[in-house]
Amino acid sequence: MIQPTASFKENLQLMPSIDGIQGIDLVDVDEVTVSSIENQPGKQGSLAVYHYLRKEFGELNAKAAEHGLAIFAEHTEDAKNRPGAHPNIDRLFDVIDQNTVLAIQIR
């Protein structure tokens, strides 16, 4: 498991490659896809983080979400101050606050 730095850009360099991944789906306990992240510009950083969280934790639970917030580094504070500006970070806050568990399915 990586030790996140204070820089999201540096943390991304520690992530496994997302080459060949089209996207991921976050699926709830009822097998409903609640969100998707596509492999496209502007979303690749989030895709890399969620892909890494799946490899390390197997699912998106509160412990994985806390680690994800550390990886997002400076963007986490911005997300706290501007709800809705970073939906993939907001989702991590929601998982912690609601004690939710989501499956992370890779496409």
Supply the CATH number for residue 74's domain.
Answer: 3.30.70.2010
Q: Which residue has tokens 């912690």?
A: 96
CA–CA distance from 97 to each of 11, 32, 100, 101 (Å)?
24, 20, 8, 11
Query: Residue 87: which domain range?
Result: 8-106
pLDDT score at 6: 96
- Residue 41: inside a domain: yes
- Residue 22: inside a domain: yes
**Overall number of domains in the chain:** 1
- Residue 2: inside a domain: no
The maximal CA–CA distance of the chain, rounded, in angstroms, is 36
User: What average pLDDT does the segment 29-42 reach?
Assistant: 96
How far apart, in whole angstroms, are the C-alpha atoms of residue 100 and residue 91? 10
Count of CB atoms within 10 A of residue 76's CB? 18
pLDDT score at 7: 97
